[in-house]
Amino acid sequence: MSRSNFRRLKRIELYEIMLAQSKEIDRLRDELAKANEKLENQEIKLANAGSIAEASLSLTKVFEESQKAADLYLKNVKQMNGEAEYEKG
C-alpha cells in the first residue's frame, strides 16, 4: 500500500491494520518459540545419542575384558584338572 493510500485511510482502519499486524506478530512469535523448543529437544537427543554410543562402546570393552578373564579362568581350571588326573594316573 502506498503512502497516499495510507493517508486516505480513516483512523479506525489504521487501528484495524495495526491490530491485524499485532496478532500476526504474536502468532509468529508463538510459532518461533515452538520451533526453538523442537530444535532444543533435537539437540538434546543428539547429545544423548552420543553419550549412549560412548556408553555402549565402554560396555563392549568391559564385556571383552570379562570374556578374556573367563577364558583364562577356564584354561587354568582345565590345566589344574589335567595335572590332577596326571598325578592320579
Please give the backbone phi and psi of residue 2, each rounded to the nearest 5 degrees, phi first: -80, 170
pTM for the full model? 0.47
- Domain span holding position 47: 3-88
Indicate the number of domains in the chain: 1
| Residue 45 reports pLDDT greater than 80 | no
CA pair distance 11, 43, nearest whole angstrom:
47
Q: What is the per-residue pLDDT for 78? A: 85
Report the percentage of the chain scoring pLDDT > 70: 90
pLDDT, greater one: 76 or 57? 76
Query: In the 3-class helix/strand/coil scheme, how is the chain assigned residue by residue?
Result: CCHHHHHHCCHHHHHHHHHHHHHHHHHHHHHHHHHHHHHHHHHHHHHHHHHHHHHHHHHHHHHHHHHHHHHHHHHHHHHHHHHHHHHHC
